[in-house]
Amino acid sequence: MKNIYNLTIKELEDYFIEIGEKPFRSIQIYEGLYKKRLSSFKDMTNISKDLKEKLSKTFSTYKIKLLLKQEGKNVNKYLFELSDGNKIESVLMFHNYGISLCVSSQVGCNMTCAFCESGRLKKVRNLEAYEMVEQLLIIEEDIKKRITHVVVMGIGEPFDNYDNVMKFVKIINCGKGIDIGSRHITISTCGLVPEIRKFAEEEGQVNLAISLHAPNDELRSRLMPVNRAYHLKELISTIKEYIKKTNRRVTFEYIMLDNVNDSEKEAIELSKLLKGINCYVNLIPYNETENIGFKRTKEWKILKFYDILKSNKISVTIRKEFGGSVDAACGQLRAKAE
């Protein structure tokens, strides 16, 4: 039985045409599911009893299970269990500009970035679109507020699950449903070049973030094995093509690791690497974990790195720190549960 939350409005429309129903039924169902948040077809008063029965026999409204919630200052962390017993997590952040949700896209991750908790547990499988949608629905139900921004930056490499992630984006972006604007949605990738090129062909204004974390091939290959497949020259060239085609600014994420990638030398290298690119750099204080030996860069050093980029005319921000009182590192809560 298919999960109803796995269907785009176009797929639902095609289904109704196939069974001899009017296409506008798709709008009624979408509004019932996402505007009114009805979790049973029986509660939808604008469709016939026969159609309710047909939908109930064809589609499931099963939701993933919330196992655990941790709360910190301006941040909540959620641990979910899927129907097959696998676990994933999401992070909710309260900003002055809105409420942002970081969703997972895979169970585990095969990218094995040296500093990342998620990569310690290998990829088990991709998440279906509905398993991403339901992270949002369950958390909105918990906080009784509307989530305004979504980042696909949790457990997993989103572009290693490209089709399901793009379906998820279509579902949450649909105006008849959850209706999160495409400019409020960001997809992060560690640098899968073929998928970045594919993403450049997509419609809409969804943001792209690149997990960079090093300004040269030697260091990046040591931290991020993906760099051995797609070297920085190819990655940066592809990003330039992407920006030229889409006219959209790209974010480069840069985790600050003490005495690893945070020296003046690396700041200057990074400035040269990104010179002339329509982008900004997001410097991220590292969330230390008991399983990985990296330490966070000291604040004064982050500020010095920031100043060097700024003086070289690179747009740069320092990410506001979240989750000091929760298991904030991606995959940390799941790793403990496992």
Residue 330's pLDDT is 55
Tell me the pLDDT tens digit for each residue of 171-198.
Answer: 999 999 999 999 999 999 999 999 999 9
What is the chain's mean pLDDT, rounded? 94
Residue 140 is among the residues annotated as catalytic for this protein: no
Kindly report, residue by residue over 12-22, the tens digit of the pLDDT: 999 999 999 99
End-to-end CA distance of the chain: 28
Out of 95-104, 110-119, 218-227, least confident range? 110-119
Closest CA to 83 of 64, 61, 101: 64
Q: Looking at 31, 253, 330, 338, which residue is catalytic? A: 330
Options 31, 71, 89, 299, the catalytic residue: 89
- CB neighbour list of residue 318: distance below 8 Å, 6 or more residues apart: 282, 283, 285, 302, 303, 306
Crossing angle between the packed helical segments 232-246 and 264-274, to the nearest 10 degrees: 40
Q: How far is residue 96's CA from residue 294's CA, in Å, rounded to a whole number?
A: 30
Beta-strand pair 87-95/98-103: antiparallel
- Report the alpha-carbon distance of residue 228 to residue 43 in Å, rounded: 53
Is residue 330 among the annotated active site residues?
yes
Phi-psi domain of 63 (left: phi exceeds 0; alpha: psi -120 through 50; beta: other): beta
Region 48-52: what's the mean pLDDT? 95
Once rounded to an integer, what is the mean pLDDT over residues 109-115? 94
Does CATH place domain 2-60 in 1.10.150.530?
yes
Q: How far apart are CA 35 and CA 2, in angstroms?
A: 21
Domain ranges of the chain: 2-60, 65-337
Q: Which CATH superfamily is domain 65-337 in?
A: Aldolase class I (3.20.20.70)
**Per-residue buried b or exposed e for 151-163, using 16+ beta carbons within 10 Å of the residue's own CB:** bbbbbbbbbbbbe
User: How confident is residue 322, by pLDDT bands cut at 50, 70 and 90?
Assistant: low
